[in-house]
């Protein structure tokens, strides 16, 4: 499977290293789409990829699938042009909190018989939630995200934990677009952005992000917590989030599908 990536940040570099340098040959990143190729020229030699700044040339460069590894703005700008031509792995899932944009992407995928793959990111349990809600039987979904206080609060160092947000996922992604993508993937797997409850806590006593998810429904209850180590190249990015993209791509090449 030949892969194209939109973006050249920490996650893109992680994927190029794991797939092109450490991979088994089942996958290869061939093309990278960026606004300024000159800024990232060393990537061509380091990872044996080709840089593009014209979308059509990127899409016709022999790639089978596109991984978006940029940001929400890039999703809104480029996804409607990419999806008619390629399947997509979407990282900036917060873009789908916009109900109108989500409908547009769903309609395009159906029209052109394309797939949008959404990695689980920095959390887990999405298969459980989807299965439990297969007949609409989940009634309550909540996520409490606890982050180091310094990453959420700009003023003087906090001495005790502070709840900086308590509300629905639809509003959480507006106020914290870089911090709470996990609430959107959880919402899409379950009861939606208007029904998924989100609490964000700035905690001076923790060093890593901690996500605690609680689910209730006809099936019973489920509760679990994930503590994320940061990606070495970018402490603002979870290592598990990067790994979830790699895992998604590997599953696409595996004839045996686990879970779901």
110 class by beta-carbon count within 10 Å (0-12 exposed, 13-18 middle, 19+ buried): exposed
Q: Quote the tokens at residue 244.
A: 């979830």
Handedness of CA 60, 63, 65, 70 (dihedral sign): negative
**211 is a catalytic site residue:** yes
Q: Any residues with CB less than 8 A from the CB of 73 and at least 6 apart, and which?
A: none
DSSP for 79-111, please give it: HHHHTTTSEEEES-GGGGGSHHHHHHHHHHHHH
17 class by beta-carbon count within 10 Å (0-12 exposed, 13-18 middle, 19+ buried): middle
Q: Quote the tokens at residue 165.
A: 């947000």
Produce one character per residue of 33-66: b if its CB has 16 or more CB atoms within 10 Å, e if not.
Answer: bbeebeebeebeeebebbbbeeeeebbebebebb
Yes or no: say if 203 and 151 are a contact pair by the CB < 8 Å rule.
Answer: no
Q: How remote is the C-alpha of 7 from its chain's centroid?
A: 14
Q: Looking at 45, 117, 133, 211, which residue is catalytic?
A: 211
Which positions are annotated as active-site residues?
Answer: 211
């Amino acid at each position: 499977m030949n892969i194209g990536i939109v973006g050249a940040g920490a996650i893109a570099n992680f994927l190029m290293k794991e797939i092109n340098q450490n991979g088994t040959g089942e996958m290869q990143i061939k093309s990278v789409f960026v606004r300024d190729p000159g800024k990232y020229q060393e990537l061509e030699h380091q990872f044996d990829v080709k840089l593009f700044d014209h979308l059509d040339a990127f899409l016709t460069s022999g790639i089978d699938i596109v991984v978006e590894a940029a940001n929400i703005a890039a999703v809104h700008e480029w996804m409607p042009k990419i999806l008619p031509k390629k399947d997509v792995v979407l990282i900036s899932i917060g873009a789908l909190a916009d109900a109108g944009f989500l409908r547009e992407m769903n309609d395009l995928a159906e029209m052109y018989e394309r797939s949008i793959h959404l990695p689980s990111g920095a959390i887990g349990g999405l298969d459980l939630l989807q299965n439990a809600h297969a007949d609409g039987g989940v009634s309550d979904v909540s996520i409490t995200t606890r982050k180091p206080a310094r990453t959420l609060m700009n003023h003087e160092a906090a001495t005790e934990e502070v709840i900086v947000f308590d509300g629905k996922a639809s509003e959480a992604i507006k106020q914290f677009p870089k911090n709470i993508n996990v609430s959107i993937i959880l919402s899409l797997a379950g009861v939606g952005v208007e029904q998924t409850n989100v609490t964000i806590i700035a905690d001076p006593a923790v060093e890593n992000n901690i996500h605690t998810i609680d689910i209730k429904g006809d099936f019973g209850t489920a509760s679990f917590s994930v503590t994320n180590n940061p990606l070495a190249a970018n402490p603002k990015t979870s290592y598990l989030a990067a790994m979830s993209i790699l895992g998604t791509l590997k599953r696409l090449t595996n004839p045996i599908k686990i879970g779901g």
